[in-house]
Amino acid sequence: MARFLIRRIFLGAVVIWLVTMMVFAIFFIGPGPQDVARRLAGREATPQQVQEVARRLDLNAPLINQYGSFLNRLIHGNLGYSYIHGQPVTSVIKEAFPVTLSLAIGAAAIWLVLGVFSGVISAVRRGSILDRMVTTFALIFYSVPVFVLGLLMLYVFFYQLSIHGIRWFPGGGYTYFSASPTKWFRGLILPWIALALISAATYTRLTRSTMLEVMGEDYIRTARAKGLPERRVVYRHSLRSALTPVVSQFGIDVGTLLGGAILTEYTFSMPGLGYTVVNAIDQQDLPVVIGITIVATVAVVVANILVDIGYAVLDPRVRIH
């Protein structure tokens, strides 16, 4: 296990390193140091700010030295400085990341439980009315864009309830947990459900297909022939093996979501990473774009490492050497 972890962490570090090279090539290689500095400083930057950016980032040095300085800053947790916000990029991300993290954890828990449970029920009751209903609802939610479902939920649970004097759900925004746990929870219910219903449809279909495939395996038929209870066959043997691709999908989805759920955050006006990076692109705040890109890369790499570890825990057929 230790050798496996070391190998996976090393490969993950290589992926992050390659991404840093691509980011550097996209944002730091230009016609000249002043042009690069002007882009990084923003369109409202003064000539003095452009000169300061060029000096601080060593843009007059050879490219290899520039990349070395860029990589050294990243290793020490320095993601750059946003001249639009007037503060380090790490401070911008620290404000936005709790929003995205709250959205990701709550929605992921809901869609995983809902998707796997409905997928198992659909597979066990294959061909029944319940199976057709679950499959139909999964197809409907799979086809609906998250912003459409989000706007529909805002219309019903915010607008319609509000005009009748019922104000259970806010119309958008985000309240930090430290400010008010109750308002934090109420403000996240609709975003959680909207994102979870869309994602749960994928897990329902994936769980159902893998469960049907696993339940046709020889060792499942052997377990039934030995007289094991059907509940144990389904949940102890079939489901454990069927969860392997589900875990893989879950790790990728959560890792990607931690990089910013752009449509969901924009629909509900939540100032998370996705909302922040879109605004940064609109304002040409390139340091923030670079910082969030690096953070998203790290999140996806860490999620994939955890997925590989989960394989060995869930599926006894997987062996780690």
Closest C-alpha among 268, 258, 267, 277 to residue 101 = 258
Tell me the whole-structure pTM to 2 decimals: 0.81
91-112 pLDDT tens trace: 999 999 999 999 999 999 999 9
Tell me which of 78, 104, 133 is where a domain ends.
78
How far apart (Å, rounded) are the C-alpha atoms in residues 65 and 58?
Answer: 8
Report the distance separating Cα 318 and Cα 312, nearest Å. Answer: 5
Are both 221 and 168 inside the same structural domain? yes
Judge whether 169 and 157 are in contact, CB under 8 Å. yes
Helix (H, G, I), strand (E, B) or coil at 320: coil
Write down the pLDDT at residue 17. 93
Taking residue 242's Cβ as centre, other Cβ atoms within 10 Å add up to 26
Residues 125 and 8 in one domain: no
* Same domain membership, residue 227 and residue 95: yes
Q: What is the pLDDT of residue 126?
A: 82
What's the structural domain count of the chain?
Answer: 2
Segments forming the whole domain that contains residue 211: 90-314
Where is 5: in which H helix or E strand? Answer: helix 2-28
Distance CA 132, CA 204 (A): 12
- Look up residue 188 and give its amino acid: L
Q: Mean pLDDT for each 10-residue chunk of the chain (321 residues)?
A: 76 91 87 78 77 82 88 89 86 91 91 89 84 87 86 88 82 85 90 90 86 75 72 70 78 78 86 89 88 90 81 58 51
Q: Are residue 12 and residue 156 in the same domain, yes or no?
A: no
Query: Residue type at 95?
Result: E
CA Rg, the chain, in Å? 24
Same domain, 40 and 168: no
CA distances from residue 219 to 15, 214, 215, 246 in whole angstroms, order as listed: 38, 9, 9, 21
- Looking at residue 20, its pLDDT comes to 93
User: Which tens digits make up the pLDDT trace of 115-165?
Assistant: 888 888 888 888 788 888 888 888 888 888 888 888 898 988 888 888 877
Residues 55 and 127 in one domain: no
CA distances (Å), 244 to each of 214, 215, 311, 318, in order? 11, 14, 6, 10
Nearest to 26 by CA among 12, 40, 15, 14: 40
- Clarify whether residues 60 and 208 are in a common domain: no
| CATH for 267 | 1.10.3720.10
- Point out which residues pair with 88 in neighbouring strands: 81
Give yes or no: residues 126 and 237 share one domain: yes
Rounded Cα distance between 7 and 49, Å, is 43
Final residue before a domain boundary, out of 49, 78, 107: 78
Distance between CA 33 and CA 54 in Å, rounded? 7
Look up residue 317 and give its DSSP letter: T
Task: Note whether 246 and 210 are within 8 A (CB).
Answer: yes
Q: Are residues 33 and 122 in the same domain?
A: no
The answer on 247 and 104 residing in a single domain is yes
Distance from C-alpha of 251 to C-alpha of 308, rounded to nearest angstrom:
9
- The domain boundary, picked from 29, 44, 78, lies at 78
